[in-house]
Amino acid sequence: MAGGGGNDVQWCFSQVKGAIDDDVAEADIISTVEFNHSGELLATGDKGGRVVIFQQEPENKSQPQCRGEYNVYSTFQSHEPEFDYLKSLEIEEKINKIRWLPQKNAAQFLLSTNDKTIKLWKISERDKRPEGYNLKEEDGRYRDPTTVTTLRVPVFRPMDLMVEASPRRVFANAHTYHINSISVNSDYETYLSADDLRVNLWHLEITDRSFNIVDIKPANMEELTEVITAAEFHPNQCNTFVYSSSKGTIRLCDMRASALCDKHSKLFEEPEDPSNRSFFSEIISSISDVKFSHNGRYMMTRDYLSVKIWDLNMESRPVETYQVHEYLRSKLCSLYENDCIFDKFECCWNGNDSVVMTGSYNNFFRMFDRGQKKDVTLEASRESSKPRAVLKPRKVCGGGKRKKDEISVDSLDFNKKILHTAWHPQENIIAVATTNNLYIFQDKLN
Amino acid sequence: MINTMECAMDAQNLISISLRKIHNSRTQRGGIKLHKNLLVSYVLRNAKQLYMNEKYAEIYRMQQYEEVMTVCNEIQELNPLDLAEDIVEASGDCCSHGAGSPLIMEPASVCCALPASNHPAHTPHQQQQLQATAACSAAGLALQSEEVCKETNSAFFRSCCAEAYPVTDCDFSSLSAVHCNKTTVLDLDTHVVTTVESGYLHQDCCAVQCQGAQAPAKKRKFDFGCYAAESEDVPDFTPCKRARFEDFYCPHSEQLDTSNISNLISIFGSGFTGLVSRQADSELSLNGQFCSKQTLASLGAWTRAIVAF
C-alpha cells in the first residue's frame, strides 16, 4: 500500500527501540534516522558515533495483516572522537547524517558522516564458512606441514548469520567547517557533502580528491552574513542540486552551467512579513532541512516554525506553508535563552508525496496532508506504547481557555524534542526519534 | 516594526545572554559552531540597535527638554496664546514629516514625543497619535540597517541585505591589549582609544584614524575574523593558552584577526564582570533619572565595548 492520507490513516504504535531509562546517556542521543531505498533497512546514528541498523522481518505468511517488525541487524562504531592537533580542536564523533546507496549486489552500502569525515560502509552477510583446510586447524592454528598425509577440498558449511560492517572508503580532510549534509547523486557514482560555507562533490571510488562546487566564504570573514545549512541532489536530474541558507533562501544550481556553482540557476525566497519582525527573525527564518519530493517536482524546507513546499518552477514564494507550532512565536525569547531556538528540525515526505511530516517539542510530531489540507499532531511516548494501540491526536492550546485534553504551551517539555523522522519509501511506516528512543509506527491494517 | 513589547530593558538582557552564549561556545566540544554564532550575532545586533536607539532618543529628549525649558523661561513675557500656536505648528511639522517613513530621523521622533507630553492644548486623540508615532518611530529606528534594502510598502528580502553584523572598520592591530585584564576599545564618537582595565575606564592619549568611523547608530560589521582564524588561519591558537596573552603567537600576517581574538578574550576574561556592573548603572538611568556624566561615560564605554567586539 502506498503512503496515503494523513488523517484517514490511523497510526498505531508498533515498536520502540532504546533504553527505557529516563536518565539519558549523551552518547545514546539519536542524531539521524534513515530508511534504505527498499525500506527493509532502517539506520540510526547517535552522538556516540555508532550506527545501528534494523532490518524488517519478512511478512509472516500466517498473519498477513501484520507487517514485519524491525530488529537489530548490525551495530558498529562508525566514527571515533578525534583531536585536530594543528588547530587544537576536538572533532565530535556524532553522526550528523546517514545516506544509503542503492543496492547493487548482495551487500548494502551507506555513507555516514560526522563534522569532518565521511565514510562509506559495506554491510554484508555471512552465513557460510569454509571448513576443512589442509594447512590450518579448525581454530585457525597452523598445522605442521609434515603431519599432513592426505589432502581434501575445503567446503562451505552453513553457520549462524553474521552481519559485518567494514569501512570501504574514508573521505577526509575536505571540510574546514562542520559538515551538515551528504547526498547521493542519482548517477550512483557521485555524492555531495556540504559544510557551513562550501559544497564538495565526490566520486564514491575516489577518496583523495573532491571538487568544490559551491564556496560562499567571503574574502573577508567579517563580511559573513549567511551560511549553508543543508544541501541535496535532485532525485532524478543528476546535474541539479539545491542548498539552503541561514537567511531562509534556497539556491538551485546546475552543474552543467559551470564548474563552480556560486552563481545559482534559481533562487527561492519568500519576502519577510514585516509585522512578524522581532529580535529573532533571522534565527527563525534559518532553514534547517531541505528535501526534494520523490517525483522531483517539489522541495520542502523546514525553518523553526514552519514547513514550506516549493514548486521548482516558482521562485517567488512557496506553494504551501504549514505552521508547525505557531504558538511558540510569542515564546521566542525564552526559547532563545534555553537554546531551543537553535534546534534543527528535519522533515520528510511520504512515498507518494501526498503527506509531509516533521517533529516538534514534547515528543510531538506533525503530519500535513497536502491533498486533504488536514494536519494532525501525534505523540511518541511510552504511555501510548501498547502494541497496535492507536495514537490519539494531540492539541496544543496556544492561549486562553484550555479545553479538555488540550495541552497548554507552558506545560510543554522542551527537552523532549523530535528532530529526526523518516518515512518508509513505500509503506505507511514511520520512524520517529525522540532523544534516545526510536519509535516505529504504522498505519492500522484492517 | 520590532515588537514593542521587547523594550530597551529586554534588549539589555538579550545582549548579555548573547554574549554569554558566544563566550560559552568557545569551550563547547566540537569547536565553535559558525552557524549558531552567526545567528547569535544577529540577535546581538538587533538588541543593540534597539537599545542604543532608545538611549539616544532619551538623550535627545532630555536635551530638547532642557532647551524647551530654557526657551519657555525666556518667553514667559509673551502672549500665552501665541505660545500654544507655535508649538502646535512645530509638532505638526515634525509628526507629518516623521509618521510613516521608515527612515525617520531621531530629532523628529523626539519632537513628536515632546508636545504630546507637555502640551494639554492637544486633544487626547492627537496626543495618542503623537505618542503612537513616537513609539513607532523609536522602534522603526531599530530597523535602520534593514531599511537599506527595504522600500516603503514593498517586500523585504533578506538576501539583498549584504550588510553583516556591525563592527568597526578600524585596525586594532597596533593597539591590541597586552595584558589579559585590559580591553581596548575605540570611542566611535571622539575617535579616542580607551583601555578598559578590570572594569575601570582609562583614557589613552592616542587617537586612531578610523576609516568610516561614524555615529554609533550607523552600521558596523561583526568581526568574524576570529572564527576564520580559529578554523583556518591561526594554527597555534590553543584553548589552553587563552588566558595567557604573552604566549599568544600568530605566525601569519593576520594580526587583525589575532588582535580581535585577544579583544574578544579580554572582554570575557575581565570585561564580563565589568559589563555586568555597568548594566546595573544602565538600569538606573533607564528608570528615568537624569544621567549623570559619570553614568553616561560608563554606559558609553559599555556600548562601545559591544561595538568593538
CB–CB contact A279 B47 (8 Å) = yes
Query: What are B115-165's pLDDT values in tens digits?
Result: 333 444 444 444 444 443 433 333 333 333 333 333 444 455 666 554 444
Q: Which residue of A has its CA nearest to B16?
A: A337
pLDDT of residue B104: 30
Whether the CB of A88 is below 8 Å from some CB of chain B: the reply is yes
CB–CB contact B31 A90 (8 Å) = yes
Q: Which residue of B has its CA nearest to A230?
A: B35
Mean pLDDT score across all residues of chain A:
93
The Cα A247–Cα A283 span in angstroms is 8
Whether the CB of A226 is below 8 Å from some CB of chain B: the reply is yes
pLDDT of residue A385: 85
Q: How confident is the model at residue B286 (pLDDT cuts 50, 70, 90)?
A: very low
Reading the block at residue A253, the C-alpha cell is: 544550481
Compare CB distances from A283 to B33, B43, B227 and report the shortest one's residue: B43
Q: Average the pLDDT over A234-245 and give the result.
A: 97
The Cα A218–Cα B76 span in angstroms is 61
Q: Is the pLDDT of residue A340 over 90?
A: yes
Q: Average the pLDDT over B228-234 and give the result.
A: 41
pTM: 0.70
Q: Is the pLDDT of residue B179 over 50?
A: no
Compare CB distances from A225 to B17, B33, B162 and report the shortest one's residue: B162
Q: Is the pLDDT of residue B99 over 90?
A: no
Query: What are A166-196's pLDDT values in tens digits?
Result: 999 999 999 999 999 999 999 999 999 999 9
Which own/partner contact pairs does B144-150 have at CB distance under 8 Å and 24+ positions apart? B144/B49, B144/B53, B144/B103, B144/B217, B145/B45, B145/B49, B145/B219, B147/B102, B147/B103, B150/B102
pLDDT of residue A319: 97
The Cα B117–Cα B102 span in angstroms is 23
Q: How far is B143 from chain A (nearest CA, A)?
A: 9
Q: Is the pLDDT of residue A370 over 60?
A: yes
Kind of pairing between the strands at A406-408 and A395-397: parallel
3-state DSSP assignment of residue A123: strand
**Residue from A249, A272, A276, A282 whose CB has the most chain B CBs within 10 Å, to mutate:** A282
Residues of B numbered 50-89 whose beta carbons fall under 8 angstroms of chain A's beta carbons: which are they?
A: 50
Cβ atoms < 10 Å from Cβ of B76 = 9
pLDDT of residue B82: 58
pLDDT of residue A21: 79
| A439: nearest Cα among A414, A422, A425 | A422
Q: How confident is the model at residue B89 (pLDDT cuts 50, 70, 90)?
A: low
**Residue from B42, B45, B158 whose CB has the most chain A CBs within 10 Å, to mutate:** B158
**Higher model confidence: residue B121 or residue B307?**
B121
Find all residues with CB under 8 Å of A315, minimum gap 6, and list them. Answer: A266, A267, A268, A269
CB–CB contact A87 B230 (8 Å) = yes
Reading the block at residue A386, the C-alpha cell is: 501498547
Of chain B, the percentage scoring pLDDT greater than 90 comes to 8
Cβ contact A351:A424 at 8 Å: yes
Cβ contact A181:A232 at 8 Å: yes
Q: Average the pLDDT over A356-380 and give the result.
A: 96
ipTM for the whole complex: 0.91
Q: Which residue of B has its CA nearest to A228?
A: B35
pLDDT of residue B95: 41
Q: Is the pLDDT of residue B234 over 50?
A: no
**Higher model confidence: residue A22 or residue B282?**
A22
CB–CB contact B30 A90 (8 Å) = yes
Cβ-Cβ contacts under 8 Å, B38 against chain A:
224-227, 246
Angle, in degrees to the nearest 10, between helices B124-141 and B106-118:
150
Q: Which residue of A has its CA nearest to B46?
A: A279
The single residue listed with the C-alpha cell 557533502 is A193
Distances (CA, A) of B208 to A420, B223, B224, B261: 52, 18, 22, 19
Whether the CB of A282 is below 8 Å from some CB of chain B: the reply is yes
Q: How confident is the model at residue A88 (pLDDT cuts 50, 70, 90)?
A: confident
Q: Is the pLDDT of residue A422 over 90?
A: yes
Cβ-Cβ contacts under 8 Å, B167 against chain A:
222
